[in-house]
Structure 1
Amino acid sequence: MSKYVLIGSAGSGSVIIELALTRAQAPYVLEQIPYLEPGPDRERLLELNPLGQVPTLIMPNGDVLTESAAIILHLADAYPDAELTPSGNDPRRSQFLRWLLYIVGAIYPVSTFGDDPARWDLDDDNQKLFRKSLERYRLSLWKNVEEVADAPWFLGENFSAIDLYLAVMRNWRPGRSEYARHFPKLSAIADNVSDDLALAAILKRDY
């Protein structure tokens, strides 16, 4: 059977896609690389994805798919039983799309920008100020998600891929304990993801 090849890196956004592939019971191989380090792995990644980012997914037919939201929507179509997205006629579909793109379009980049503030040609003092500013902004962005979150999943009674994003991204800056203090509803949803033993094993390995 042909398999997906997921190129990822420990603790990165590729974990979200690994969780989705696992939930979908899709056949895949994980290739974990230090994606920012120069070398042959980095060169291969750049050939597949000009941004040099993970997740990068090589599909069974050889096509390359990047951008986590695009991968999630593909997997939802390919494996509908995984319930990664509400169906097209589900009234929650519009809110799913809204908040999925909010997370990947507004919050996710703030994490990326702060990973290596030196890239912005700032001196040490301004790098620290830049990162602190990003941290405050990220908290304000997550607050909007906390205010609309339902229970036990983000959309209420039905699981969706947004829950996987929460389970992974709460481990990023400002850290899990601080995230739980500010966003108890989102943290509870992330905890629910860990009730799936297969998903919990992946999260435990990376975090």
Structure 2
Amino acid sequence: MTDQLTLFGAKGSGAVAVEAALTLIGAPYRLIEAYTWDHDDPASGDLVLAANPMRQVPALVLPGGEAITESAAILIWLAEAYPAARLAPLPGDPKRAQFLRWMSFVSSAIYSLYWVKDDPARLVPDPAGHAALTERTLERIAQCWGIMDSQVTPGSYILGDELSVLDLYVNVVSRFRPRRMRFYREAPKMAACVKRVDQDPRLAAFWKERMG
């Protein structure tokens, strides 16, 4: 048992949003790289099985040994466990409902689609259908960004004038295909927010190192 958090993650993955939150919080943690998509190094991806039988990152292990999976759940938990960092509207805050709404939306409507996009054979065995499935999936991701953008009223950040883990989550997921330029077109209101998070002096070097 250890007195610090253990994060199973990977450079360039959705787990980077959790790393960013931990960086802002200043909480000590141990990072175990688990590249679950690397077919040439399956042992790396298998490392996360100790914490997540789904073989997916991120997975956060608490000092007592309890594991938390699912990126949105981890980010919400961190914001609540470290309220002094002010990374989310807490229960009772008027912005709390929309915070929970959009954290869940990014997770369920957008991020979950990468399970299909990254390996179309998971749903379509015939390789002849893979290109079409990938294209339709990417279009759905872009459409969902547009739907979210039409429903939010950002300030400096998505929920207003305070950075939250929602901004970190969107910042990372919007880097995935169909990539940032498409995101900027579909979500012009949120575009300024993610650019601001890109340039946050507390995270600028971090983004370069962990997302490239």
Give, in whole Å, the separation in 1 of the partners of 2:72 and 2:202: 22
Greater CA deviation, 91-100 or 68-77?
Answer: 68-77
* Long gaps (5+) in structure 1: none
The 5 Å alignment of 1:1-207 reads: 2-37=3-38, 39-149=42-152, 150-205=154-209, 206-207=211-212
Task: Look up the equivalent residue of 2:34 and give its one-letter code.
Answer: I
Q: Which amino acid aligns with 2:120?
A: P
RMSD over equivalenced CA pairs, Å: 1.7
Residue pair 1:170, 1:187 contacting (<8 A) in 2 also: no
Q: TM-score, normalised by structure 2?
A: 0.90
Q: Which moved more, 1:119-128 or 1:142-151?
A: 119-128
Q: Percent identity?
A: 36
Q: Give yes or no for contact 2:142–2:182 (8 Å, CA) kept in 1.
A: no
Distance 1:175 1:20 in 2: 22
CA distance in 1, matches of 2:118, 2:60: 22
Partner secondary structure for residue 197 of structure 1: coil
What are the superposed Cα offsets for residues 25-68 of structure 1, whole Å, 9 maximum, x if unpaired? 11112222222345433333223211000001121222211111
Q: Is the 8 A contact 2:36 2:44 kept in 1?
A: yes
Compare 196-205 and 37-46 and name the one that shifted more: 37-46
Does the 8 Å CA contact 1:72/1:84 hold for their aligned counterparts? no
Secondary structure of the residue aligned to 1:180 is: helix
Superposed displacement of residue 12, structure 1: 0.8
Q: Deviations over 1:4-24 (max 9, x none)?
A: 111111111100100111111
Q: Deviations over 1:93-135 (max 9, x none)?
A: 0111111111111111112210111222432320000011111
Stretches of structure 2 lacking an aligned partner (at least 5 in a row): none
Counterparts of 1:24 and 1:159 in 2: how far apart (Å)?
12
Greater displacement, 97-106 / 121-130: 121-130
Q: More displaced, 36-45 or 130-139?
A: 36-45
